[in-house]
Structure 1
Amino acid sequence: MNKLFTTAILFSFCIAGNSQINKKEDVKAIKSMCGCYEVEFNFAETFQYSKDESYVPSETKYDRGLEWIELVEDQPNKLVLQHILIVNDTMLVKHWRQDWEFENTSFYQFYKDKSWKYQTLAKDDVKGQWTQRVFQVDDSPRYEGSASWVHVDGRHYWEDNTDAPLPRREQTIRKDYNVLNRTNVHEITKDGWIHDQDNVKLLRSENSTDVAIAKEKGTDYYKKVADSKCLAGQKYWKENAAMWKNVRDKWQTVFNRKLDLNLENRVNKKPLYSYLFDLKADTPKAETDKIIDTFVKR
């Protein structure tokens, strides 16, 4: 066999082997975000760019909670993590959800207000990367982006920049911007993990340049604690998982259209999460499908 040809084959095997090792490390890092965590939520505006002299920055936000993170789907190229927020051991909120998909090429990129643009990337552009998709409490989309997990010098982290809607904490108090450009870092630590954010508040309108209003720093600390502290969250998910799977499946049908997506903010003065949170665990799929359809603009 030609020596040069043999060397090329060995090199290809090495690359393939390293890719599989890296992917295993990626999966391990993503799965390590599951479990029971004491969480600190911290957000503060850092720089102001508004020309309005009467501009008032958002107050510094600090909050705490207990969160159960359930591994809902465990497939070779897709992992789904559902967050359940536990407040004062009595109040349970189906919180945000994060899906991780390996070498994904289809994206719903947030545009502004309640609209997302469907886009695709070439396979070479996402080779070795994981897409993180983040969803609202009602499983409607928030934002998504693709990047590689990095495992170096004992650190394990993933970093991406993408546009997103206003966070819930700002939706009712801020009308001067409609896009949050987010740099998200998920880093695994010895105590749990950190969601670090460097955000820019943007005002976006049709056919004009984005206007930066302010910058924001966010750091959420997830400290691992015994799973027994989150029994209430585990119980909630066990009782309600089937209904929420129906909701996820309906949204997937919507996403599979591969068209730009525009959603109603409210129907009959109620947001989508309000309708879904009022449902019983045994609500049939036909009913949840119908509710979601009323929010999807044709």
Structure 2
Amino acid sequence: MKKLILSLTICLITLAAFSQTKLEQDRQAIKSLAGYYKVTFNYAETFATDTAYKFHPRYHSWGYEWAVVVEDSPKKIVIQHLLAVDDTTVIKHWREDWVYEQPSILAYDKDNAWKKVALSPAETKGRWVQKVLQVDDSPRYESIGTWVHVDGRHQWYGETDSPLPRREYTKRNDYNVLRRGNRIYLTPEGWMFEQDNKKIVRSAEGDKLVAQEKGYEEFTKADESKFAYAKTWWASQQAYWTDVRAVWDNVFAKNSSIKLADKKDGKRLYQRLFDLGDQSVKEKWSSAKNKEEANKIIAVYIGA
């Protein structure tokens, strides 16, 4: 009996050690996404069910992006992306939250509406949710997947629905949902965000495929000196956006569904929150004041 107990104890200790090692591998891979990068964006439509469909032009762009870790706890890592346009201009870009074994996911439906969906323990065990947020920290999409570390390769895959990408949001109305197949993997030069996307029309009758698309967003390490102004700007704005993030966290916690208005009085949410950030810095608002004013604005744009 003693030998059996000892054997079981060793197995449990070994299993716990393996799990901890895997979790730490995951964390290190996620934190490797932070850094100073030149990013190239390449997208091309590859297939359509309708033979009369006219493929849209390929999309290519590039820029310099700083991805900075703004929160790091054992089971949650938050990375803020900032576009360094030039020596005097920076744009707060998208944000990604990585949460380990999150028990629910905010699933996109259509028409800027999301609904919270519960996940079973089997669906979450050992897996990470990547939550991608808009420039104003409003929701964009969430997907869940497993980080895999094998043969020196580190990669993660998740599939989910999202609104139209920013590159097409104001240009197209022939589809209303982008089903994303997101693959992230580390490279010697940085990391790759590879996508296999489906452009879908979602209606009461169901989903109809319009076209498929291949995408590559390649993050290649860049000279840190190109981000001097971005660092200065973020140092002044970070406290404000930390408060905005807290307001959104409260919104997500309280609501089982969210519908986001596109415009109110001719302005989009990001425009108002960006303006509020400049005002906060100029007038040196307190954290409480930041949250109060941001909450007022966000409440105008959302509905449960």
Paired AA for residue 22 in structure 1: K
How far 1:189 moved relative to its partner?
Answer: 1.0
Greater Cα shift, 209-218 or 270-279:
270-279
Paired position in structure 1 for 2:229:
232
Match of 2:253 among 246, 253, 256: 256
How far 1:71 moved relative to its partner?
Answer: 0.6
Paired AA for residue 22 in structure 2: N
Match of 2:172 among 174, 180, 203: 174
Paired AA for residue 211 in structure 2: A
Match of 2:270 among 254, 270, 273: 273
Paired AA for residue 72 in structure 2: D
1:164-183 residue CA offsets vs partner (Å, 9 max, x unmatched): 11011111111011110001
Whether 1:297 and 2:295 are equivalent positions in the alignment is no
1:14-54 residue CA offsets vs partner (Å, 9 max, x unmatched): 11111100111111111111111011111111112246x4x
Please, which runs of 5 or more residues in structure 2 have no aligned partner?
Answer: none
Q: Secondary structure at the match of 1:278?
A: helix
| Contact 1:143-1:162 at 8 Å conserved across structures | yes
Whether 1:70 and 2:68 are equivalent positions in the alignment is yes
Specify whether residues 90 and 50 from structure 1 end up closer, same or farther in structure 2 by C-alpha distance, changes over 3 A only: farther
Paired position in structure 2 for 1:37:
37
1:205-233 residue CA offsets vs partner (Å, 9 max, x unmatched): 12x22000000111011011232221222
Counterparts of 1:184-195 in structure 2, within 5 Å, are: 184-195=182-193
| Contact 1:164-1:182 at 8 Å conserved across structures | yes
Paired position in structure 1 for 2:13:
13
Whether 1:124 and 2:122 are equivalent positions in the alignment is yes
1:132-155 residue CA offsets vs partner (Å, 9 max, x unmatched): 000000100011111111000110
Paired AA for residue 147 in structure 1: G
Could you tell me how far apart the structure 2 residues matched to 1:189 and 1:183 are?
A: 19
Paired AA for residue 299 in structure 2: D
Paired position in structure 2 for 1:209:
206
| Contact 1:38-1:224 at 8 Å conserved across structures | yes
Whether 1:25 and 2:57 are equivalent positions in the alignment is no
How far 1:125 moved relative to its partner?
Answer: 1.9
Q: Normalized against structure 1, the TM-score is what?
A: 0.95
Amino-acid identity (%)? 43
How far 1:258 moved relative to its partner?
Answer: 4.1
Greater Cα shift, 130-139 or 82-91:
82-91
Q: Normalized against structure 2, the TM-score is what?
A: 0.93
Could you tell me how far apart the structure 2 residues matched to 1:233 and 1:37 are?
A: 13
Please, which runs of 5 or more residues in structure 1 have no aligned partner?
Answer: none
Q: Secondary structure at the match of 2:303?
A: coil
Between the two proteins, the alignment pairs up a number of residues equal to 295
| Contact 2:89-2:229 at 8 Å conserved across structures | no
How far 1:90 moved relative to its partner?
Answer: 3.3
| Contact 2:177-2:202 at 8 Å conserved across structures | yes
Could you tell me how far apart the structure 1 residues matched to 2:86 and 2:47 are?
A: 34
| Contact 2:157-2:183 at 8 Å conserved across structures | yes
Could you tell me how far apart the structure 2 residues matched to 1:164 and 1:12 are?
A: 40
Paired AA for residue 137 in structure 2: D
Q: Secondary structure at the match of 2:206?
A: coil
Could you tell me how far apart the structure 2 residues matched to 1:37 and 1:135 are?
A: 20
Could you tell me how far apart the structure 1 residues matched to 2:268 and 2:224 are?
A: 32
Pairwise CA RMSD of aligned residues? 1.4
Q: Secondary structure at the match of 1:210?
A: strand
Paired position in structure 2 for 1:103:
101
| Contact 1:50-1:212 at 8 Å conserved across structures | no
Paired AA for residue 8 in structure 1: L
